[in-house]
Amino acid sequence: MKGREKIAALTAYDYPTARLLDECGVPLLLVGDSLGMVVLGYPDTTHVTMQEMLHHTRAVARACPGALIVADLPFGSYETPGAGVANARRLVEAGAEAVKAEGGRAIAGQARAIVDAGIPFMGHLGMLPQHVREEGGYHIKGKSDEERDALHHDADALEAAGVFAIVLELVAPPVARELTARMAVPTIGIGSGADCDGQILVTSDLFGTSPGRIPRHVQPSRLGDAMRAAVAAWKAGL
């Protein structure tokens, strides 16, 4: 789809949402570890376990979407190439068709081993939510020359490892534009400007139903308000 049409990607963590998004023709569904915050009530994604990822991947896979199902390798599940391959295989057995993990040069060995095992791999650069505790928050990456150069080197390492796409999260838009122009594989942006090959959002942020703060790059719908109004109307009519 690179260069032909914008790639729409959304997160899905359960069967009904996967069905709805598939009916809408979304071509890529990510069982993201963001489910830790928006479904399971954790403070960040570092608490999400492999068991939880498998449970939600199975639920999404039961919807048999036409969309490509990508599942996140959770925190601590890809410390070595061997562990990455073993856990990627478990996600595939649960119904994922591809996996995603966070990092560039630091995990290029894991990415290559997973691709060599026959499992399509999606990269994730920029702000890496699994590192939020070290980083002390969710900050834009690529504002300094040093960060810009690091992003280019990381993207090159992932491309050489054989990834089929790279998520760019909170990357300074001029750097996201440069990477998109330079790379053969598609970039899927989130909070990284309009010039990526595609865009991904956490679906409950888009719906306006996320329990926490909705990030600035999302213009949420009023679905959360509609749900509250439905409950209030039902209660009032008892």
Q: Which residues bind ligand KIV (CB under 6 A)?
A: 11, 30, 32-34, 72, 167, 169, 190, 200, 202
CB of 217 to ligand KIV, least distance (A): 11
CB of 189 to ligand KIV, least distance (A): 9
In the complex with ligand KIV, the residue whose CB is nearer, 113 or 190, is 190
- Among the residues of the chain, which ranges form H helices? 15-23, 35-38, 50-61, 81-93, 108-116, 132-135, 145-161, 173-182, 203-207, 223-236
CB of 124 to ligand KIV, least distance (A): 6
Nearest to 104 by CA among 145, 160, 53: 160
Residue nearest to ligand KIV (CB): 32
Q: Which of 52, 102, 159, 169 is catalytic?
A: 169
Residues facing residue 10 across a β-bridge: 29, 201
Residues 11, 201 contacting (CB under 8 angstroms): yes
Does the annotation count 146 as an active-site position? no
At 140, list the tokens.
């834009």
In the complex with ligand KIV, the residue whose CB is nearer, 113 or 200, is 200
SS3 category, 165: strand
In the complex with ligand KIV, the residue whose CB is nearer, 96 or 190, is 190
In the complex with ligand KIV, the residue whose CB is nearer, 211 or 237, is 211
Report the DSSP pairing between strands 28-31 and 68-72.
Answer: parallel
Residues 187, 196 contacting (CB under 8 angstroms): yes
SS3 category, 17: helix
CB of 31 to ligand KIV, least distance (A): 8
Q: Could you give the residue numbers annotated as active site?
A: 169
